[in-house]
Amino acid sequence: MRIVVDANVPAAEACFGELGEVIRLPGREIDATALRDADALVVRSITRVDASLLAHSSRLRFVGTCTIGTDHIDRNLLDERGIAFASAPGCNAEAVVDYVLGSLLTLGERQGWQLAERRVGIVGVGNVGGRLLRRLTAMGIDCLACDPPRAEAEGAEGFHTLDSLIDACDVICLHTPLVREGPNATHHLLDATRIAGLAPGTVLLNAGRGDCVDGQALRQRLAQGDITAVLDVWEDEPAIDTALCDLAELATPHVAGYSLDGKLRGTHQVYRALAHQFGLTGRLTLDDLLPLPSVVSLVLDGGLAPEEALRLCGLAVHDPRRDHDSLHRESRRLGMAAGFDACRANYPRRREFATLDVRLRGAGAALAPLLEGAGFRVSLG
């Protein structure tokens, strides 16, 4: 079996190599010619799987994406051709939540506010937004949720309309999929009117899909200097709006979910699906793939304010400012599109909050509920 795999998929040889011959290519270089003799294709989000890509793929029987999102896949085309499909729902959701918490704590330190004093609105309460809601609630943060499809299916209780959420919250986190048509379309969900109506001091964080925000309108509003944006996703990736990038307080190259844990979960989920599709035995477990983290534990005594302790633990795992600085540095060196892709292709190893054991001693024990709620492993003594 011949398996074409995006070069940025980690542990590809370890997983897919036991199932067949692995051909690794950069995601933007996977084309119809490369798939001519392929039996299976494994991609990430930058490869658009459509009729042009599959023009010569008479042997292809499986497509997998090691990502949560699937809007880069023409699912109808795969169904028409009888090609099996698998994605990796939830694989990097914990990493995205880590990114959100780390970014908000960083902003609070820079701007002189406490996350505990903010009301956070979460737009899209699925794999990522649902986890963010649970963690923030466990931390004692006031949250509101907006998810029209869930409200329709489950009842309106506990959900808010987007406009009422915008009016009530001073932090707005977007975690919606990209839906271009229909009553629950999310393309430019935050359009020029809603962006203009954001209250001064609002923090807008988008780690969902770039096309859910009108980038031009956001750039114009940010130029006024009265709101703050944290942007990990963009319209027209990788050739993103340089001016918008410069105006964002934190601008990162679609790496919110780029933890090693999340990537390996995605690889492993697709590996299991591919093995099942071809009637093979997938012997590897996720634990077989995960190495020990570089920072295993921290010991905290009393003396740290709660959000200082949160920032310290978060920075021991991941500092979002590193990703911001990397995007600006590489875009100056290579140009925006090439720099954006270079940051993703050469992303350093990053683990998740849950890999850090925080040992609390003495008065530090009072921090246990907050740190556990944020997602760290906590022990006492």
**Active-site residue 209, yes or no?**
yes
**Which residues, 6 or more positions from 243, have their beta carbon under 8 angstroms from its beta carbon?**
219
Q: Around Cβ 185, how many Cβ atoms within 10 Å?
A: 12
d(CA 215, CA 267): 32
**Is the pLDDT at 104 greater than 90, yes or no?**
yes
**Residues of CATH 3.40.50.720 domain(s) within the chain?**
2-91+258-289, 93-251
Q: What is the DSSP string of 68-86?
A: S--TTB-HHHHHHHT-EEE
Q: Which residues of the chain form beta strands (DSSP E)?
A: 2-6, 21-25, 40-43, 62-65, 84-86, 119-123, 142-146, 171-174, 203-206, 228-231, 250-251, 297-300, 357-360, 377-380
Name the helix (H) or strand (E) containing 34.
none
Domain with CATH 3.30.1370.170 in the chain: 297-380
Looking at beta carbons, which pairs linking 334-343 to residues 24 or more positions away fall under 8 Å?
336/238, 336/239, 336/240, 336/242, 336/245, 337/238, 337/239, 337/240, 338/238, 339/253, 340/237, 340/238, 340/239, 340/240, 340/253, 340/254, 341/28, 341/46, 341/238, 341/253, 343/253, 343/255
Mean pLDDT, range 261-282, rounded to an integer: 95
Is the pLDDT confidence value at 216 over 90? yes
Q: Residue 299: which pLDDT band, with cuts at 50, 70 and 90?
A: very high
Q: Are 212 and 187 in contact (CB under 8 A)?
A: yes
CA 79/CA 251 separation, integer angstroms: 37
- For residue 31, what pLDDT band results from cuts at 50, 70 and 90? very high
C-alpha span between 63 and 5 (Å, rounded): 10
How is residue 23 annotated by DSSP? E
Q: Considering 135, 150, 219, 254, which one is annotated as catalytic?
A: 254
Confidence of residue 302 (pLDDT cuts 50, 70, 90): confident
Please provide the CATH number assigned to the domain covering 297-380.
3.30.1370.170
How long a stretch of residues is the chain? 381
Q: What percent of the chain has pLDDT over 90?
A: 96
Find where tokens 């990703």 sit: 323
Asked whether residue 66 carries a pLDDT value surpassing 90, the answer given is yes
2-91+258-289: which CATH number, 1.10.10.10, 3.40.50.150, 3.40.50.720, 3.40.640.10?
3.40.50.720
> What's the whole-number mean pLDDT along residues 124-140?
97
Mean pLDDT of 12-41: 96
* pLDDT of res. 281: 87
Catalytic residue among 94, 237, 307, 352: 237
**Token representation of residue 237:** 């990736």
Average pLDDT over residues 91-103: 97
Closest-CA residue to 337 (of 247, 241, 258, 243): 241
Higher pLDDT, 68 or 159: 159
| Per-residue pLDDT reduced to its tens digit, 327-353 | 999 999 999 999 999 999 899 999 999
CATH superfamily of 93-251: NAD(P)-binding Rossmann-like Domain (3.40.50.720)
3-state secondary structure of 377: strand
Residue given tokens 């780690």 in the structure block:
207
Q: Which residues partner with 2 through β-bridges?
A: 21
Of the residues 150, 209, 219, 344, which is catalytic? 209
- State the chain's mean pLDDT as an integer: 96
Give the phi and the psi of residue 356 in degrees, each rounded to 5. Answer: -100, 125
DSSP states of 179-217:
--SSTT--TTSB-HHHHHTSPTT-EEEE-S-GGGB-HHH
Give the residue among 3, 43, 35, 61 at the shortest CA–CA distance from 266: 43
Flag whether pLDDT at 68 surpasses 90.
no
Cβ atoms of 12 and 53 closer than 8 Å: no
For the chain, give the percent of residues with pLDDT over 70: 100
What is the pLDDT averaged over residues 348-370? Answer: 96
Mean pLDDT on 288-307: 94
Whether 254 is catalytic is yes
Contact between residue 380 and residue 360 where contact means Cβ atoms under 8 Å apart: yes
Give the pLDDT score at 364. Answer: 94
pLDDT in the model for residue 63: 98
